[in-house]
Amino acid sequence: MGHEKQQPGQVLASYGSHALVRLADGKARECSIKGKRLRPVAGDRVQVVLGHKDEAVLSEILPRQSELAKQSGGGRRKQVLAANLDLLVVMIAPEPAPEPGIVDRYLAAAEALGLDAAVVFNKEELAPDGPPDWLSEFRALGYPVFTVSAARGDGLSSLTAHLARHTAALVGQSGVGKSTLLNALLGESVARTAAISEKHGEGRHTTTTAYLHDLPSGAGGIIDSPGVRDFHLWPIAPESVAGLFREIRETSVGCRFNDCQHDAEPGCAVRASVESGEISARRYRSYLRLREQMRQLKERNPDLL
């Protein structure tokens, strides 16, 4: 026992009873996971016990700053996909036709999780008239917006510079080019991960395993898996939805009632701002839709919220 020492690390990927952990010295080590109660995910900060026979055991998961989770078990359980992210990158493209309401939902999810968010318009080569005008709404709210062509490599330098300060996840509809962008940003890191997956997969469906990829610059990372890419907003209380829209949250301090839901209440500063054009009417309608969806969800599944 005297030969054992403990070292902090970060999980790059987790496979059943083993995890790949980057230790404090920068080297990645395969670790067995102590007990069945520990369920580490990519991004977790952990403690690893190094034994005298070159054994490495993941012994503790440190408190998470954030969790990206989805519903499982018929919507009654939370499955954590990744941990300690600080940026959600919402991707859209000319094809499939971009829907601003979907971007609203992803940005609301980022707000709910306490994450920064950015919007990327990919495949600019397919948009001769440029990106859609409504992207300016997100820019005005302080969300960085990038226009890129992952296939051609255009516009990637400013996006890479932004990602360098973060641990990020790419999310968005199928077909917007998330894999192409990931390959363009990471290059050989993706191929290395595929090799790791085959080596440590233990016969599981390793394509569903989330990985923390280091950016080539070494100053940031991207957590990726199909589950992460298709992440959706975890159910929240309908009355909390207003707080997930930055402009509504900030304007609501001027409402007459503290519990104003910005619908039909008198003295609503939010509705006044919509009528004056200070708040986007489209974003306001998106808020009402999301709040109604959460209300219906709560009605059908009261235990979820």
The annotated binding site for GTP is made up of 172-180
Residue 148 and residue 159 in contact, taking contact as beta carbons nearer than 8 Å: yes
- Residue 40's contacts (CB-CB under 8 Å, 6 or more residues apart) are 11, 14, 19, 33, 46, 58, 61
Binding site residues, as ranges?
A: 172-180, 255, 260, 262, 268
Binding site residues for Zn(2+), as ranges?
A: 255, 260, 262, 268
Tell me how far apart the alpha carbons of residues 106 and 170 are, in angstroms, rounded to a whole number.
11
Instruction: Give buried/exposed letters for 116-137 (b at 16+ CB in 10 A, else e).
Output: bbbbbbbbbeebeeebbeebeb
Q: Which residue has the tokens 């991707």?
A: 91
Residue 86 and residue 66 in contact, taking contact as beta carbons nearer than 8 Å: yes
| Single-letter amino acid, residue 293 | Q
Instruction: Give buried/exposed letters for 228-238 (b at 16+ CB in 10 A, else e).
Output: bbebebbebeb
- Please choose, from the candidates 297, 300, 252, the residue with its C-alpha nearest in 3D space to the C-alpha of residue 273: 252
Neighbouring-strand partners of residue 121: 92, 147
